[in-house]
Structure 1
Amino acid sequence: MNLSTERLTLRPIQKEDITDYFEFYSDVENCLYLLNEPWTKENMLENFSPKLENKSFLKRTSTLLSVVYKEKVIGEISIISTNMKETIEIGYIFNSNFSQQGFATEAMIAVFDYLFLTTETHRVYADVDSRNINSAKLCERLGMRKEAHHIEDYWNKGEWTDSLIFGILKREWEQR
């Protein structure tokens, strides 16, 4: 799958992307709310290799896309199939050096357009750590509604964390 916007290209991950991926996956602040610890030079290849094969650590079918701006990978978007009919979970991480420029919103709009306008997707949702204010704001900019706030529902990195569930339906996306 390849998608294009005014400034971005979204495409499958390539082995040459590893250095750019290391930039955002080794950033301690960037990984604070992710399930994985920040990458190190020692585990970089081990963590990156499964991405080349589109293997999700969640053991579900996923499509991973590199978000490219001017020949540099500035983010990753996960499109994860769920067990529920025509329902997709999305995930994302972006290089913090490129924040506050609208890249995440632009990339996610392209993904939502693809999912809702060219596939049979009925619903897209995101499961966000409640402390990740920037991620919640992105979901809101995309027109997603907060559907749930689960209290201490996920054990991660030695502590119980709250989750926010954001969702949007195909008909809502088409009406926006």
Structure 2
Amino acid sequence: MSILNSGIDAKIEYINSKSIEDTYLSTNDMINLEALMNTYSTMLLRMASIMLKDLKLAEDAVQETFINFYTSYDNYRGEAGIKTYLCKILINECRQKQRKAWFRRNILTAEPDRSSNSNPDAIESAPVRLSLSGALKKLDTGTREALLLYYYNDLPITEISKILCKPEGTIKSKLKRGRDRLKSILQEDFCNE
């Protein structure tokens, strides 16, 4: 019994001594998967909720992302970081959900619920956050994905290029056009108020 416990303790100590990016998962290593989930789930959820415009669908997409990562980890070649690989899986999962007829029928036609803000400290910044979120949702999918990866996830253009399978010049153009479009959308929103 003590041999088993010492082996587990040694493995946990080894995992804790490594950074998340340096830690590789074996097929049955739930401890590392849990560390990855704790590290990246918030970032992925934020990104998915903006892409899908629905929190429940975003939670499902993040869950499916980690399931897909766990089941296909053997395909991970290590050419990009784990964060980049998870973002790529998440984007593919979100695109798959957006292709479904139910999503197009129910989510794209529904109005966002603006009364769900229960945190009194966040009331002042809620209109700005809602207008930015609404402006992002008005952008086309490719531009929105590039902006989310660059500004929300702090990924360099080279990594975004790998995730979206587009040349770096295209990503730079999408970022420039996206910033310009966001500026015009936000100016229209604030001028109309």
Same-fold call, TM cutoff 0.5: no
Higher helix share: 2
TM-score, length basis structure 1: 0.29
Higher strand share: 1
TM-score, length basis structure 2: 0.27
